[in-house]
C-alpha cells in the first residue's frame, strides 16, 4: 500500500538531517540573493536613475557603516520600533483575547478596531503630532494605535478557534482563571501570537518610517526620507537594506528561538 | 436575540465616537465641527465626483488585494512544501515586508511611469508578504491527524488543500485577510499621495489636507471608514459566520 | 483641433500656480498655440510626479532642487524664472523676536529640511547671521498648511513658510515677517537675491518641443503682466481664491499687499541673473549644507539650448 | 426540597435539548452519598450530556438538578470537589503527563510535599509511571485515557464522574483498574457516576445501574445489583446478572430492523 | 520473496521506535487475501503503530512490510484501496456527516450517481441516518465513531484497518454492527485487520487472532479460531474460546504487581 499524497502538510514532512538542512539553507539563500540581485541590476539599467546600481548602493552602504549618524539614527529607530512593537503587541493581544473570549466585548470593539484599521497612517500620525506635539510621545502613541488592531485581529481569530473542551476541563478542575489562561489558552494561541509578533514587528518598522518622515527630524526613517527628498536613491536603498538585514537578524534570533522552545510538544 | 443585543452594542460603540468627536472639536484646532460635517455630507454624497473617486480607489484596492492574496497564498504553500522554496521565498517575503510603503509606492510609480497598474502592484507588493506570513504560520500548525486521514483516503493534493487544509487554517486566513484588507487601504492612500494620483480617495484626501479644508478631510475620512466597515460587516463577518458554522 | 498639449504642474496652494490659473482663465494657452493641461498637485508628490515624466513643465521647482536632481542623473533644467522669494520666517505680532537670532532655542515650525523653503531660509540665515537654523532651532514638522494653526495656537513661536500661507499666518496672528527671504537677502547682498521657483522641464522635452517651450514662456509673460497691471487685484478672482485655498477676504488683502510690496513674480532671465544664481549655488556648495557641487546645466536660456524662436 | 441527608444528587425532570432538538427527554433519579452508580444507555442517548449537566458545564434545558440539597447553580456555596474523566481525554498537549497532573494539584488543596508521592502512586496503579515525562502526543490511546483517570482521582474528589473511562483499555489492564477503582471507592467513600458500555463492568462495580432508553432518553430502569461485596469479576453470579440485564436492554434498546442490503 | 499468491500482507522483523525508544520490538506474520485477522494486545503495546506502518503512514524503523508481494513503499504501483478506522475518529469538523463521506467518495472511483444510495445504506446499517446533515461536534462519541466506520467502508476497500472501532458503542449497537461487519466481509471478500480489546469480539469476528506481548511487542501467539461460520455471538463455543484466550493473555500480559497503597 504505497500511499503517497504529494501534499501532506508541514507536520508530515519527514525530518531531514542537519547537514542537508544547512546545504538547503545555503542554496536557498544563494538563489534568493542571486535572483534579487539580477532583478535589481535589470531595474537599475531600465529605470535609471530611480533605481541605483548595486555597485553604487554597496559603496553607499560602506559609507553609512562608517558614519556616526547612521548608528545614532539606528539606535533611535530601533528604540522606537521596539517600544511600539512591545506596546502594540501587548495592547493588541489583550484586546484580541478579550474580544475572542466574550461576544459582548467583541461587539463593542470590533467596529472600533475596523475603524482604527481604516485610518490612513499619515492621518494617525498627523493627529497625534497635533495632539501631543512632535516629541517621542506622538510617534509612540500613533504607532501603537495603528499596529495594535492588527495584532488583535490575529489573536482574536485564534482565541475563537480554541479547543473549548480544554476550557471545560479547567473549569471542572477549578483551575483559577488566571492560571487557566496561562496554561490552557495561551499555549493554544502560541502560533497566532508568533504571527502577531511578526506582523507587529514588520508594521512598527513600516510605520516608524512614515512617522519619522512626517514628524521626526532623526532616525532611520527620517534619514531614508531625507535622502529620498534629495533624490539620493542609493542612500535610500543602502540605509534601508542595512536596517532590513539587522531587523531580520533580530527577528530570526529572538522569535525563531522562542518559537522552537514554545512548540516543543509537537515534536 | 443574542445577535440583536450585540448589534446594539456595536452601534453604540460607533455612536459613542460622536461625542468624542465633538469634544475633540471643541478642544483642538484641526478637528472639524461634527455638525458642519454632517450638514455637508448630503451634498458631498450627491456629487458624482465623490463616487468616481471612490470607485477608482476601490478598483485599485480590489485588484491589488486579490493579487496579494493569491501571491501570498501561493508563497505560503510553496514555503511549507519545500525547504528550498521556504529559504528562497523567505528572503523575498522579508524584503517586501520591510520595504516602507512610501518607497514601494514611489518605485512602482517610477517603474510603471504613473500607469494605473503601478497602484495595483504597490498594493499587491505590500499585502502579499503579510498574507504569506500569516498563512505559513497557519500551515505550520496544520493538524497531522487530519493530514494522515487525507492520505489514507487518497484525497490528492487539491482536495486536501481545499477540504482539509484550508478549513483548518481558516482562522489564520481570516485574520490575514482582514489585516491585508486594512493594509491595502492604508497603502493605497500612501501610494496615491506619494504617487501624485490625480483621482482616487488618497488624491482627494491629500488635496483637501493640502488646502486645510478640514471639512473635506473629515468627509473623506468618513467615506473611508464607511467602506472599511462595510467590508468588515458586509463581507468578512458574513463569510466568517458561514465558514465557521460548524463550531456550533 | 490639433493644438499640441502641454502638461504643466504647480504645487497646490503655492503662488507658483497663480500664473497657471491666469493662463487657463484668460485662454492664454490657446492664444499661444498650445492646449494647457494645468494641474495643482500636493507638495508631497509634486516633485516626483514631474521627475517621473507625468508632466512636461513644473512651475514650482527651485534651483537647489534642480541641482540635486541633475547631480543624481535626472536631466532636468530650469529654463525660466517664476517666483521671487515669496517666503520667509513669520512670527506673531506680539513676538519679542526681532531677528532670526532671537529664535535660537525656540520652537519653530517648518515642513521639512529638504523643502526649498527651508533650504533657502537656512542658507540665507547662515550667510547673513552665521548660524545653522537646523542646529539652533527646536523644529516641529508638519505640512505647510498645518503650520498656520500651529503658529496660531502658540505651539510654535515662528514658522518657515511661503505665500499664501504667509499671509494666512500674518492675518491669523497679526504677524509679520521676521525675515523676508527675497528682500532681506537682496538688501544684504546689495541687490542680488535668488528667486524661488522656476519653469523646469526635461532637457529632452525642450529639445523636442522648442516652439512649445517658447509658447509657454510667452503665455507666462502675458499672465504676469496681467497680474501686475491689475495691481494684483486679479487675485480676488474666484478661481484664484479657490485655487490658492484662501479662506477669507482679509487674507486676500494681506496677500495683495505683500505681493505689491515684494513683487512676487519675475521674468528676468538674463545671463547675469543666471550667473548670480550659479554664484548663490556655489556659495551653498562651499558650505556643503545641502549640496556639495554645482552641476552644469541647472539653468539655461532657451535661446542657448534650442536657438532663437521662429518668428 | 427533600430533607433526606443521604441524597446528595437529585435529578428531577431533567431535559436537555440542542438547538431545539431533544437529547434527553426527562430524567428523574437520586444518588446517595458514597453510592457507586453506573449509567447504561445506547450510544447517543444522552449520557455525556447528563454528566455535563451534573458537573455544571451544561445548563439544563428543563428540570431541577440539586447537589447536596442546593440547586446546581447556587452561587453561594463552595463547589464540591469533582473529578471528571471525559469521554475524550482533554489533556493539555503542551504539558507532560506530570505537568498535566501537577496543574490540577496546584488548584486543589493537596499540600505540595504530597504531590510527587500521590502522582507516582496513581501512575503506578494505572501502569503508566514510565510515561511521567512524556508529552500526550507520544502516548497511545489507552495511555492517554489512563492519564485522564489519574487526573480525576488525584484531587481527592468527593464526586467522580467517569465517561467510559476503561473503554480503550485491554482486558487485563481494565480488570486491574476496575479492581483498583473498587478499592479507591471503598477507601475514600466518594460518590461515583460511571458511564460504561460494558454491562459486566457495570454489574461488577456498581451498587445500582441506571438504565436509560434510547434518546431522547428517560430512565428505563433503576437496577439494584443484588451482589454482596467484595465481588470477583469472574463470579458466575455476575454473569447471571449481566445476562439478565442484556435481556432487558435488548428489549428496551432494540434496534429498528435494517432491511437487507448490499454494501459495495 | 515469497511467491505465495494468497499472502497479501507480509510483515517480517518489523520494528518501530520513537526517538530511539522501541514501541514494537519485532513482528513477523502474514495475512492472506480475504482473511479476517484480529489483533489483541495490551494497551500501549504498539497496535496503532503497527496499523500506521501497514497503512503507509509511518515508516518502519526496521524490517520489511510487503503488500501484495511488493515492498510497502514501492512507488510504481497503484496503491490498493484502503479503509482505515482510526482510534480517534478524525472527521473534518467543518463538514457535515454527509460531506465527510462525500469527500472520500469524490476521491474514489465510485460513480456519482451511486453516492447518495451508498451513503444512505451505510448510515442505515450504522443507525445514524438521522445525523446525515449534522456537524461532527453535534454528535455523541459513539456516533462519531460510527461515521468514521462508514467512511472506511464506503470506498469499496480491499483492505480495511480498524483500530478499536466498536469500543465506544453500547452492547446492542455493537452486536448489530459486528453482525453487519461479518456480512460485509463475507460479501466483499475484503482483507480486514481489526484491533480490539474485546476478546469475545475477536473470537466472534476473526479467522485468526494475532496476540501481541506487552510493548515493545512481539507476536505472542497466532491463534486460529476453531469455530465454523456462521457464528452466533452467544454461542457457548465462543465463550469457551474466549476463556481460553483470557487464560493465555493473563499469563502473557500479567501486570507487574502494584504494591498496596493509599490513594488519597
Ligand atoms: N509519536 C510518538 N512518540 C513517542 N512515542 C510514541 C508515539 N506514539 C506512540 N508512542 C509509544 O509507542 C507505544 C505504542 O503506542 P501505540 O499507540 O501503537 O499503542 P497501542 O497498542 O495502539 O495502545 P492502545 O491500545 O492504548 O491504543 C506506546 O508506549 C506509546 O507511548
Ligand atoms: N453540541 C451538540 N449539538 C447538537 N447535538 C448534540 C450536541 N452534543 C450532543 N448532541 C446530540 O445529543 C444526543 C446525546 O449526545 P451524548 O453525547 O450525550 O450521547 P451519549 O449518550 O454520551 O452517547 P455515546 O455513548 O455515543 O457517547 C446525541 O444524539 C447527539 O447527537
Ligand atoms: O501603510 C504602511 O505604512 O504600511
Ligand atoms: Mg458520550
Ligand atoms: Mg492504539
With residue C51 as reference, give the H or E element that holds it.
helix C43-52
Is D146 touching ligand 2 by the criterion CB < 6 Å?
Answer: no
Give the residue from C270, A62, E18, B3 showing the smallest Cα distance to D135.
E18
Looking at beta carbons, which residues of chain A come within 8 Å of D92? 166, 183-184, 187
Whether A178 and chain D come into contact, CB under 8 Å, resolves to no
Lowest mean pLDDT among A87-91, B154-158, C210-214, E9-13: B154-158
Q: Where are the domains of chain D?
A: 1-80+163-255, 91-157
Average confidence (pLDDT) over E104-116? 89
Decide if D161 contacts D51 (C-beta within 8 A).
yes
Whether C49 and chain B come into contact, CB under 8 Å, resolves to yes
The answer on pLDDT for A136 being more than 90 is no
Give the residue from E52, E42, E9, E31 showing the smallest Cα distance to E163.
E52
Nearest C-alpha in D relative to E261: D121
Q: Where are the domains of chain A?
A: 22-51, 54-263
Is E47 touching ligand 1 by the criterion CB < 6 Å?
Answer: yes
CA distance E67 to C13: 82
Decide if A212 contacts A204 (C-beta within 8 A).
no
Span C132-175, pLDDT tens digits: 998 899 888 778 888 998 899 888 999 999 988 899 999 999 99
The answer on pLDDT for E13 being more than 90 is yes
C73's grid cell: 542623473
The answer on pLDDT for D69 being more than 70 is yes
Residues 6+ apart with CB under 8 A from E244: none
Is D140 touching ligand 1 by the criterion CB < 6 Å?
Answer: yes
CB atoms within 10 A of CB D142: 27
Residues 9-68 of E with CB under 8 A from B: 52, 55-57
Is E57 touching ligand 1 by the criterion CB < 6 Å?
Answer: no
Q: Residue C5: what are its φ and ψ, rounded to 5°?
A: -95, 140
Most ligand 1 atoms within 8 A of CB, residue of E48, E55, E193, E212 to mutate: E48
Name the band, by pLDDT with cuts 50, 70 and 90, for residue E259. Answer: very low
SS3 call for D152: helix
A&D contacts, CB < 8 Å? 56
CB atoms within 10 A of CB C304: 11
Span C55-85, pLDDT tens digits: 999 998 999 999 999 999 999 999 999 988 8
Average confidence (pLDDT) over E135-146? 92
Using the beta-carbon criterion (under 8 Å), do E141 and D43 form an inter-chain contact? yes
E238's grid cell: 465462543
Name the band, by pLDDT with cuts 50, 70 and 90, for residue E264. Answer: very low
Distance (Å) from CA C206 to ligand 1 centroid: 82
Average pLDDT, chain E: 89
Using the beta-carbon criterion (under 8 Å), do A3 and E70 form an inter-chain contact? no
Give the residue from B166, E15, E70 showing the smallest Cα distance to A3.
E70
Q: Where are the domains of chain B?
A: 53-244
Span B84-98, pLDDT tens digits: 888 899 889 988 888
Smallest CA separation from ligand 2 atom 18, residue? D46
Residues 6+ apart with CB under 8 A from C237: C25
pLDDT at position E197: 93
Average confidence (pLDDT) over D42-71? 92
Decide if E46 contacts E215 (C-beta within 8 A).
yes
User: What is the bridge-based pairing of β-strands D208-212 and D217-224?
Assistant: antiparallel
CA distance E201 to A46: 77
CATH architecture of A54-263: Orthogonal Bundle (1.10)
Closest partner CB to E125 (pick from D142, D156, D258): D258
Whether D147 and chain E come into contact, CB under 8 Å, resolves to no
Half-sphere exposure in the Cβ direction for E135 (13 Å, CA): 13
DSSP code of residue C88? E
Most ligand 2 atoms within 8 A of CB, residue of B245, B246, B247, B248 to mutate: B248
User: What is the bridge-based pairing of β-strands E82-85 and C5-11?
Assistant: unpaired
pLDDT at position A158: 87
CA distance A191 to A154: 10
Lowest mean pLDDT among A184-188, C41-45, E76-80: E76-80
SS3 call for A31: helix
Q: Residue C94: what are its φ and ψ, rounded to 5°?
A: -90, 10
3-state helix, strand, coil in chain A (%, to 5): 85, 0, 15
SS3 call for D147: helix
Lowest mean pLDDT among A215-219, C73-77, E154-158: A215-219
CATH architecture of B53-244: Orthogonal Bundle (1.10)
CA distance D77 to E216: 50
Q: Percent of chain E, pLDDT > 90? A: 70
Name the band, by pLDDT with cuts 50, 70 and 90, for residue A190. Answer: confident
Q: Which ligand is nearest to the CA of E42?
A: 1
Give the residue from D14, D125, D141 showing the smallest Cα distance to D67.
D14
Nearest C-alpha in B relative to C151: B29
Span A50-105, pLDDT tens digits: 889 999 999 999 999 999 989 999 999 999 999 999 999 999 999 999 999 998 99
In terms of Cβ atoms closer than 10 Å to its own Cβ (0-12, 13-18, 19+), residue A112 is middle
CA distance A213 to chain B (A): 10
pLDDT at position D241: 95
Pocket-forming residues, ligand 3, beta carbon under 6 Å:
A 121, 206-207, 210; B 101, 186-187, 190
B27's grid cell: 478642544
pLDDT at position C298: 95
Decide if B155 contacts A5 (C-beta within 8 A).
yes
Lowest mean pLDDT among C35-44, D119-128, D158-167, D188-197: C35-44
Name the band, by pLDDT with cuts 50, 70 and 90, for residue E71. Answer: confident
* DSSP string over A198-217: HHHHHHHHHHHHHHHHHH-S
Q: Residue C57: what are its φ and ψ, rounded to 5°?
A: -130, 135
Using the beta-carbon criterion (under 8 Å), do C146 and B212 form an inter-chain contact? yes
The answer on pLDDT for D264 being more than 60 is no
CA distance D122 to D150: 6
The answer on pLDDT for B150 being more than 90 is no
Sheet containing D208-212: give its strands across: D70-71, D62-67, D7-18, D21-32, D217-224, D208-212, D36-40, D191-195, D159-163, D82-85
C311's grid cell: 518668428
pLDDT at position E258: 47
3-state helix, strand, coil in chain D (%, to 5): 35, 25, 40
B neighbour chains, 3+ CB pairs within 8 Å: A, C, E
SS3 call for B197: coil
According to CATH, the topology of domain E1-80+163-255 is Rossmann fold (3.40.50)
Q: Percent of chain B, pLDDT > 90? A: 29
CA distance B236 to chain A (A): 11
Is D238 touching ligand 2 by the criterion CB < 6 Å?
Answer: no
Q: Where are the beta strands (DSSP E) in chain E?
A: 7-18, 21-32, 36-40, 62-67, 70-71, 82-85, 159-163, 191-195, 208-212, 217-224
The owner of cell 484501496 is E81
E neighbour chains, 3+ CB pairs within 8 Å: A, B, D
Average confidence (pLDDT) over D165-171? 91
Smallest CA separation from ligand 1 atom 22, residue? E48
Most ligand 2 atoms within 8 A of CB, residue of D40, D46, D50 to mutate: D46
In terms of Cβ atoms closer than 10 Å to its own Cβ (0-12, 13-18, 19+), residue A16 is exposed
Sheet containing C198-202: give its strands across: C35-41, C5-11, C57-61, C198-202, C76-81
Span B23-51, pLDDT tens digits: 988 887 778 899 999 999 999 999 999 99
Amino acid at each position: 500500500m504505497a500511499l503517497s499524497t504529494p501534499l501532506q502538510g508541514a507536520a508530515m514532512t519527514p525530518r531531514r538531517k542537519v547537514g542537508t538542512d544547512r546545504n538547503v539553507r545555503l542554496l536557498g539563500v544563494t538563489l534568493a540573493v542571486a535572483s534579487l540581485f539580477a532583478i535589481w541590476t535589470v531595474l537599475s539599467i531600465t529605470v535609471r536613475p530611480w533605481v541605483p546600481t548595486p555597485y553604487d548602493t554597496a559603496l553607499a552602504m560602506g559609507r553609512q557603516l562608517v558614519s556616526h549618524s547612521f548608528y545614532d539614527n539606528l539606535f533611535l529607530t530601533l528604540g522606537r520600533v521596539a517600544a511600539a512593537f512591545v506596546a502594540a503587541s501587548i495592547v493588541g493581544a489583550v484586546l484580541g483575547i478579550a474580544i475572542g473570549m466574550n461576544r459582548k466585548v467583541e461587539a463593542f470593539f470590533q467596529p472600533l478596531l475596523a475603524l482604527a484599521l481604516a485610518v490612513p497612517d499619515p492621518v494617525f500620525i498627523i493627529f497625534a503630532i497635533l495632539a501631543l506635539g512632535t516629541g517621542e510621545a506622538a510617534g509612540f502613541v500613533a504607532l501603537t494605535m495603528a499596529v495594535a488592531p492588527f495584532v488583535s485581529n490575529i489573536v482574536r481569530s485564534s482565541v475563537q478557534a480554541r479547543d473549548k473542551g480544554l476550557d471545560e476541563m479547567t473549569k471542572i478542575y477549578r483551575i483559577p482563571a488566571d492560571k487557566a489562561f496561562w496554561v490552557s489558552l495561551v499555549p493554544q494561541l502560541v502560533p497566532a501570537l508568533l504571527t502577531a509578533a511578526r506582523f507587529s514587528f514588520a508594521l512598527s518598522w513600516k510605520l516608524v518610517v512614515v512617522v519619522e518622515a512626517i514628524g521626526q527630524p532623526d532616525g532611520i526613517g527620517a534619514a531614508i526620507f531625507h535622502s529620498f527628498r534629495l533624490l539620493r536613491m542609493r542612500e535610500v536603498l543602502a540605509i534601508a537594506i542595512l536596517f532590513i538585514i539587522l531587523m531580520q537578524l533580530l527577528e530570526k534570533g529572538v522569535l525563531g528561538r522562542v518559537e522552537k522552545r514554545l512548540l516543543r510538544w509537537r515534536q | 436575540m443574542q445577535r440583536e443585543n450585540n448589534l446594539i452594542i456595536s452601534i453604540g460603540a460607533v455612536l459613542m465616537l460622536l461625542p468624542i468627536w465633538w469634544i475633540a472639536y471643541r478642544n483642538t484646532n484641526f478637528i472639524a465641527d461634527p455638525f458642519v460635517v454632517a450638514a455637508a455630507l448630503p451634498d458631498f454624497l450627491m456629487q458624482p465626483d465623490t463616487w468616481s473617486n471612490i470607485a477608482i480607489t476601490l478598483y485599485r484596492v480590489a485588484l491589488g488585494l486579490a493579487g496579494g492574496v493569491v501571491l501570498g497564498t501561493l508563497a505560503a504553500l510553496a514555503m511549507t512544501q519545500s525547504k528550498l522554496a521556504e529559504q528562497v521565498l523567505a528572503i523575498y517575503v522579508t524584503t517586501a515586508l520591510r520595504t516602507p510603503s512610501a518607497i514601494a509606492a514611489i518605485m512602482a510609480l517610477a517603474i510603471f511611469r504613473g500607469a494605473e497598474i503601478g497602484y495595483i502592484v504597490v498594493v499587491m507588493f505590500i499585502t502579499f508578504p503579510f498574507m504569506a506570513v500569516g498563512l505559513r504560520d497557519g500551515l505550520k500548525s496544520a493538524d497531522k491527524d487530519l493530514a494522515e486521514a487525507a492520505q489514507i483516503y487518497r484525497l490528492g493534493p487539491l482536495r486536501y488543500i481545499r477540504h482539509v487544509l484550508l478549513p483548518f487554517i481558516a482562522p489564520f486566513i481570516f485574520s490575514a485577510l482582514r489585516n491585508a484588507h486594512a493594509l491595502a487601504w492604508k497603502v493605497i492612500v500612501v501610494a496615491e499621495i506619494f504617487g501624485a494620483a490625480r483621482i482616487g480617495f488618497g488624491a482627494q484626501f491629500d488635496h483637501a489636507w493640502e488646502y486645510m479644508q478640514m471639512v473635506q478631510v473629515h468627509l473623506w475620512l468618513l467615506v473611508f471608514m464607511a467602506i472599511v466597515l462595510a467590508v468588515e460587516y458586509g463581507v468578512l463577518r458574513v463569510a466568517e459566520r458561514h465558514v465557521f458554522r460548524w463550531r456550533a | 483641433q490639433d493644438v499640441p498639449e502641454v502638461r504643466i504642474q504647480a504645487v497646490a496652494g503655492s503662488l507658483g500656480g497663480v500664473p497657471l490659473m491666469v493662463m487657463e482663465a484668460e485662454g492664454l494657452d490657446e492664444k499661444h498655440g498650445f492646449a494647457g493641461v494645468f494641474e495643482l498637485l500636493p507638495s508631497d508628490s509634486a516633485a516626483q510626479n514631474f521627475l517621473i515624466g507625468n508632466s512636461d513643465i513644473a512651475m514650482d521647482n527651485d534651483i537647489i532642487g534642480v541641482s540635486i536632481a541633475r547631480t543624481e542623473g535626472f536631466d532636468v533644467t530650469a529654463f525660466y524664472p517664476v517666483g521671487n522669494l515669496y517666503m520667509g520666517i513669520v512670527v506673531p505680532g506680539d513676538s519679542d523676536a526681532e531677528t532670526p537670532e532671537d529664535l535660537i532655542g525656540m520652537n519653530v515650525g517648518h515642513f521639512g529640511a529638504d523643502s526649498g523653503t527651508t533650504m533657502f531660509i537656512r542658507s540665507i540665515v547662515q550667510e547673513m547671521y552665521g548660524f545653522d537654523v537646523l542646529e539652533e532651532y527646536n523644529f516641529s514638522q508638519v505640512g505647510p498648511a498645518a503650520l498656520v494653526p500651529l503658529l496660531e495656537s502658540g505651539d510654535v513661536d515662528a514658522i518657515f513658510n511661503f505665500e499664501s500661507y504667509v499671509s494666512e499666518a500674518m492675518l491669523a496672528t497679526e504677524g509679520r515677517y521676521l525675515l523676508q527671504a527675497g528682500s532681506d537677502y537682496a538688501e544684504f547682498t546689495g541687490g542680488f537675491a535668488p528667486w524661488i521657483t522656476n519653469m523646469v522641464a526635461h532637457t529632452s522635452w525642450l529639445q523636442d518641443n522648442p516652439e512649445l517651450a517658447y509658447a509657454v514662456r510667452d503665455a507666462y509673460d502675458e499672465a504676469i503682466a496681467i497680474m501686475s497691471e491689475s495691481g494684483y487685484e486679479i487675485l480676488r478672482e474666484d478661481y484664484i481664491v479657490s485655487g490658492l485655498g484662501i479662506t477669507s477676504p482679509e487674507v486676500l488683502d494681506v496677500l495683495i499687499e505683500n505681493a505689491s510690496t515684494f513683487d512676487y513674480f519675475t521674468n528676468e532671465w538674463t545671463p547675469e541673473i543666471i550667473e548670480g544664481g550659479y554664484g548663490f549655488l556655489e556659495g551653498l556648495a562651499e558650505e556643503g549644507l545641502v549640496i556639495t557641487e554645482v552641476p552644469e546645466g541647472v539653468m539655461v536660456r532657451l535661446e542657448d539650448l534650442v536657438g532663437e524662436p521662429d518668428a | 426540597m427533600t430533607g433526606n441527608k443521604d441524597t446528595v444528587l437529585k435529578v428531577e425532570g431533567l431535559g436537555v435539548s440542542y438547538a431545539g432538538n431533544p437529547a434527553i427527554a426527562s430524567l428523574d433519579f437520586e444518588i446517595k452519598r458514597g453510592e457507586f452508580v453506573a449509567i447504561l444507555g445506547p450510544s447517543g442517548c444522552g449520557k455525556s450530556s447528563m454528566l455535563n449537566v451534573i458537573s455544571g458545564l451544561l445548563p439544563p434545558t428543563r428540570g431541577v438538578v440539586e447537589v447536596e440539597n442546593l440547586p446546581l447553580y447556587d452561587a453561594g456555596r463552595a463547589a464540591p470537589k469533582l473529578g471528571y474523566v471525559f469521554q475524550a481525554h482533554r489533556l493539555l498537549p503542551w504539558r507532560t503527563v506530570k505537568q498535566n497532573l501537577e496543574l490540577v494539584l496546584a488548584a486543589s488543596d493537596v499540600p505540595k510535599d504530597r504531590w510527587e508521592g500521590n502522582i507516582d502512586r496513581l501512575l503506578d496503579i494505572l501502569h503508566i509511571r514510565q510515561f511521567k515525562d512524556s508529552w500526550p502526543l507520544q502516548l497511545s490511546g489507552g495511555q492517554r485515557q489512563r492519564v485522564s483517570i489519574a487526573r480525576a482521582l488525584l484531587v481527592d474528589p468527593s464526586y467522580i464522574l467517569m465517561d467510559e473511562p476503561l473503554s480503550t483499555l485491554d482486558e487485563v489492564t481494565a480488570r486491574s483498574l476496575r479492581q483498583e477503582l473498587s478499592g479507591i471507592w471503598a477507601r475514600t467513600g466518594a460518590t461515583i457516576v460511571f458511564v460504561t458500555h460494558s454491562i459486566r463492568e457495570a454489574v461488577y462495580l456498581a451498587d445500582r445501574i441506571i438504565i436509560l432508553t434510547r434518546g431522547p432518553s428517560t430512565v428505563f430502569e433503576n437496577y439494584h445489583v443484588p451482589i454482596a461485596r467484595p465481588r470477583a469479576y469472574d463470579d458466575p453470579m455476575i454473569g447471571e446478572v449481566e445476562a439478565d440485564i442484556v435481556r432487558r436492554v435488548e428489549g428496551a434498546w432494540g434496534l429498528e430492523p435494517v432491511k437487507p442490503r448490499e454494501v459495495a
